[in-house]
Structure 1
Amino acid sequence: MQLSDLLYKVSLLATAGDMNAEVTHLTMDSRQVRSGSLFIAVRGTVSDGHTFIQKAIDLGATAILCEEMPANRTETVTYIQVANTPQAMGMAAANFYGQPSKKVKLVGVTGTNGKTSVATLLFRLFTSLGYRCGLLSTVQNQIGETVIPATHTTPDSITTNELLTQMLAQGCTHVFMEVSSHAVVQERIAGLHFAGGIFTNITHDHLDFHGTFDNYIKAKKGFFDQLPRSAFALTNADDKRGLVMLQNTLARKESYSLQTLGTFKGKILADGLFGLEMLIDERQVWFKLIGRFNAYNLLAVYGAAVLLGEDEEEILTELSATLPPQGRFEQVISDNRIVGIVDYAHTPDALQNVLETITELRHDNEQGVLPNIITVVGCGGNRDAAKRPIMAQIAGKFSDRVILTSDNPRFEDPMVILEQMQAGISPVDYKKSQTIEDRREAIRTAVKLARPNDIILIAGKGHETYQDIQGVKHDFDDRQVLREAFQSANFRAKE
């Protein structure tokens, strides 16, 4: 593709060289440059792509897209200066791949909690309705039945457009995508055409990146501000910032609610450890998902499906048979009736939602004894440190026993993280808490402490199958470790 076509609708500050040069490849990684490449110099949080411009030229780059023109330029290379390279990259990627997002129904899901669940449930629902679908999520990217591992909640714009092109080639008509706040700020969704956007909720998270909660809210809202008039914007009316998301959007404004007025109205009739009964738009339905937070997720999915033109009765019929996504309130039960729950809850609000749900669902056993709640929880390293004591405080408040342990420490000392968590344990809860740095040993200890009918919550990692320590991802799956702990305690996990 010629550079002039590739940069259609991109606002240029200056150019130097042949704008009719042929480009056969786009990359923001200088290591991937080859002959015919357009190298895009992006200023990242760790490194600045502008420092790799000469390396890209040495490897055969045809053109350079940058925010700052190099003082010394190579005559055979074309240079394009723009104000914002990530934004320009998104538009260029969309042009390069033929605007694939306009050829499918692309729906984005944003919010602090519930993004993965809503996107995955939409993918499963529309697949069961007979469509071939694509999924871009924290857990995995998926094209029909083909699974592609995910490295980011929202991929960079080149990767996204490449995946959308593959989805189109394989007959996908609908694509469901998690949209993180980082992605909005870093322009990773620039150039994409969305058929709809969904807001789940917003609570304390990612302040290490955004700086303030107000900036975090603005980042989420920025997604809806970009939606076209042809799209729908579906928000959680019960979240106190739900309607804020719709203030400046051109999209069709819709809402869902359990408590207030909304386009799509739901009511919880019964909630237990093995299912949820709801009234949705005057239809009574039983679901395999559990908890109030999942009631909101189901309402969001139902509303989006209706807005995409599907039949209400058929939507609810298919949703009633749907299982929860991996690592989202996923149960592993021993043969002596200890209930293990593995959940991705890694924010204060998510952890409180899960623990409140467990508290509401536990009932006296046959001997009239209330099951204990044993919580195993940690916090990730190189992330928002302010939430660490809050997470521990919540775990202490809603649990009978708390084990603080390592999560993904990344490049931090796990014991420093745990000390910061310990500071949040209130004096009244101190005696029921303990700290075990080794996550495997912490899970084993929880199983040893449990008696029949007790509930063990293992929070923070959910679907993840690794533990990130000093940049190395070691094999670690909470679900598998829990099964092994049951077996070593002479219990078997029921599948």
Structure 2
Amino acid sequence: MSRALPDGRRRAGGNNGAVTASPDDPLRPAAPAPRRLGDLAGAFALSPAGPGEGWACVEVTGVSADNRLVRGGELFAAHAGAHVHGARFVPAAVAAGARAVLTDPAGAELLAAADPGVPVLVTPDVPALLGRLAADLYGHPGRALGTFAVTGTNGKTTTAFMVDHALRSLGRRTGLIGTVEVRVGDRAVPATLTTPQPADLQALLAAMVADGVDDLVMEVSSHALALGRVDPLVYDVAGFTNLTADHLDFHGDLEGYYAAKASLFDISRTGVVVADDRWGRRLAAETGDAVAALTTGPGGDWTVTGVEADATGSAFTLAHRDGRSLRTRTDLPGAFNVANAALAAAMVLTSGVAPAELEDALAGAGGLSPQVPGRMEQLGDRPRVVVDFAHNTDALVQALAALRPTTTGRLHVVIGAAGDRDRAKRPEMGRAAVDGADTVIVTDDDPHDEPAAQIRAEVLAGTTGAAVREIADRAEAIRTAVLEAADDDTVLVAGRGHETVQEVAGVDHHLDDREEVRAALALRAGGQHA
């Protein structure tokens, strides 16, 4: 059974919730160098559980916190999970080839009743140590990569894709880690977490180094920062998009949320902050001279000027107060995507690339216009149908505002809200939908363990007017919106973006908004209308 994570991604069941992969996936290094347990014990103050001989000479070639991912010769990290201690999975890990176990005192006590057949090392807090130990075991792969990190409430995925696109246009070989996918060079797999768990992250970086990757681009979630998942990485360039109310169920309040986001700049050498909102301005002021402020109006170290919007996107100039500048464009619609594109360009320039070099490279690559799954992704043009991940109030407002100027007919929106998340934003999203669209259909998103009808009712509480309907089944809601729209209308399907699994009461159901849109457009092309 799948369980939803705090940041909304899903994982398969089992020990410790690590990223899933098979041995031939590009998420793990193929042939890491072995390390002796005695060397690791000395470096990280690990203690053997009970007497034993020869354990210090045992060699391990990797580390995993999921027994299903263990490869022969690896160290299995068994720590407390949400529902069960990982030590319960030691027999399965050993059967899969684990050569040793790292656990905490509680895990060692669980293992004391039966000899697991391999050495057991103990540390007080496995998760706190795991990133540093994995980095050491894999040879600190992050140090061999140029590293770019993006955080913020909205726009992380798009900006990361844009940074990756810019670096590739410069001829760099890149690795990408984010909400939509994990990519090592030209090999990609779907992501299960915005930011992987510590051991998985270091293994992934080692795989990138082995693959000849030059630069890493990754989204770093506030959850990952609060939980120490990226330790001990130090990023070359960090970027901040914006901050609006989201994930308050985890962080408690906006101050806690902001503090988590801001901590990225404590582990980054330099960075760029979009300072268009009060949080961005505060962050730019608090981070000092090593971080540049970017504004879409006057006043920033980097400033966006000369914006020329057209039916497909916007051209703009990005200028620095020292006289450097470049002109480029993005085909992703909306002022917020101009900000995302400007941030991506500024991050690459901050890494030392000359503006003229980047401008020329982007000119040959169609500007900063990568294909970003589920991010303002247009799937039809008569009517125009757009799928977007807008799952909070500000993102919904921005998406509708981006589509309104180029909609000649009416603007329709299909929205829902996720269960087990910020309840306060539900009526706000309903209100934003009514304010920004001509018609609204409220439907299910991911109910998780909450009653779906209750979630819809809370969204509907913020809506007024006869142009609002409730259709529980999301596929039916999408189909209705597409079939009822006129040719010159726009339909925005908001909230789930690239996601392909809808969780209802602990059960996963396949549901891809893009597939449902394509099916509805096919019905429409066949002459069927609502």
TM-score class, shorter-chain normalisation, is 0.7 to 0.9
What's the counterpart of residue 368 of structure 1? none
State the AA in 1 paired with 2:102: I
Residue 28 of structure 2 aligns with which residue?
Answer: none
Q: Does 1:488 align with 2:523?
A: yes
Deviations for 1:242-290, whole angstroms, at most 9, x for unmatched residues?
2444566599222211124222210252324412121222544343221
Paired with 2:329 and 2:61, the residues of 1 have a C-alpha distance of 52
Distance in 2 separating the partners of 1:184 and 1:10: 22
**1:63, distance to aligned residue in structure 2 (A):** 3.3
Q: What letter corresponds to residue 62 of structure 1 in structure 2?
A: A
Does structure 2 conserve the Cα–Cα contact (< 8 Å) formed by 1:30 and 1:55?
A: yes
Alignment partner of 1:218 out of 259, 264, 269: 259
Tell me, in whole angstroms, the C-alpha distance in 2 between the residues paired with 1:264 and 1:319: 18
* Mapped pair 1:6 → 2:40: yes
Q: Identity over aligned residues, as a percent?
A: 33
**Is contact 1:7-1:95 (8 Å) kept?**
no
Residue 42 of structure 1 corresponds to 79
Deviations 1:437-491 (A, max 9, x none): 1111111111233112111110011122333334444333222322221221236
Inter-partner Cα distance in structure 1 for 2:277 and 2:206: 35
1:26 corresponds in structure 2 to 63
Unpaired runs of 5+ residues, structure 1, are 366-370
Instruction: Confirm or deny that 1:358 pairs with 2:400.
Output: no
Could you tell me which residue of structure 1 aligns to residue 372 of structure 2?
325
> Are 1:456 and 2:491 matched, yes or no?
yes
TM-superposed deviation, 1:6: 3.1
Amino acid at match of 2:77: I
Whether the 8 Å CA contact 1:181–1:216 is kept in 2: the answer is yes
User: Which residue number corresponds to residue 430 of structure 1?
Assistant: 465
Structure-1 separation of matches of 2:41 and 2:156: 32
- Tell me, which stretches of 5 or more residues in structure 2 are unaligned? 1-34, 320-324
d(CA) in 1 for partners of 2:392, 2:79 = 30
Secondary structure (helix, strand or coil) at the match of 2:525 reads: coil
User: What secondary structure sits across from 1:464 in the alignment?
Assistant: coil
Which TM-score applies when normalising by structure 1?
A: 0.88
CA distance in 1: counterparts of 2:144 and 2:315, whole angstroms: 37
Cross-structure match for 1:306: 349
Cα distance change on mapping 1:24 and 1:332 into 2, 3 Å: closer
Structure 2 CA distance for partners of 1:67 and 1:256, relative to 1, 3 Å? farther
Cα distance in 1 for partners of 2:83, 2:227 equals 13
Equivalent position of 1:340 in the other structure: 385
- Whole-angstrom distance in 2 between the partners of 1:13 and 1:430: 66
Distance 2:196 2:455 in 1: 28
State the secondary structure of the residue aligned to 1:461: coil
Contact 2:47 2:121 in 1 (8 A): no
**CA 387–305 in structure 1, closer or farther in 2 if over 3 Å, else same:** same
Letter in 1 for 2:385: G
Give, in whole Å, the separation in 2 of the partners of 1:42 and 1:331.
44
**Any conservation in 2 of the 1:67–1:85 contact (CA below 8 Å)?**
no
Distance in 1 (alpha carbons) for counterparts of 2:252 and 2:44 = 30
Name the Cα RMSD after superposition: 2.8
Q: 1:258 aligns with which of 280, 296, 302?
A: 296
- 2:492 aligned partner, one-letter code: L
Q: Distance in 2 between matches of 1:251 and 1:99?
A: 28
Say which SS state the counterpart of residue 355 (structure 1) adopts.
helix
**Aligned partners of 1:69, 1:479: CA distance in 2, in Å?**
44
1:377 and 2:415 matched: yes
SS at match of 1:91: helix
Whether contact under 8 Å (2:271, 2:350) holds in the other structure is no
In structure 2, relative to structure 1, the CA distance for the partners of 1:209 and 1:460 (3 Å cut) is same
Alignment match of 2:195 (pick from 154, 170, 178): 154
Per-residue CA distance 1:35-82 (angstroms, 9 max, x = gap):
754332333444443665687679865232326574474696343223
Q: 1:77 aligns with which of 119, 122, 147?
A: 119
CA distance in 2, matches of 1:193, 1:442: 45
Q: Give the 3-state SS of the residue equivalent to 1:196 in structure 2.
A: strand
* Secondary structure class of the residue paired with 1:418: helix
Q: TM-score, normalised by structure 2?
A: 0.82
2:502–2:511 CA contact under 8 A, matched in 1: yes
8 A contact 2:314–2:329 mirrored in 1: yes
Match of 2:512 in 1: 477
Using a 3 Å threshold, how does the CA distance of structure 1 residues 302 and 70 change in structure 2: closer, same or farther? same
SS at match of 2:188: strand
C-alpha separation in 2, matches of 1:222 and 1:12:
28
CA positional deviation for 1:141: 0.7
1:291 to 314, 326, 334: 334
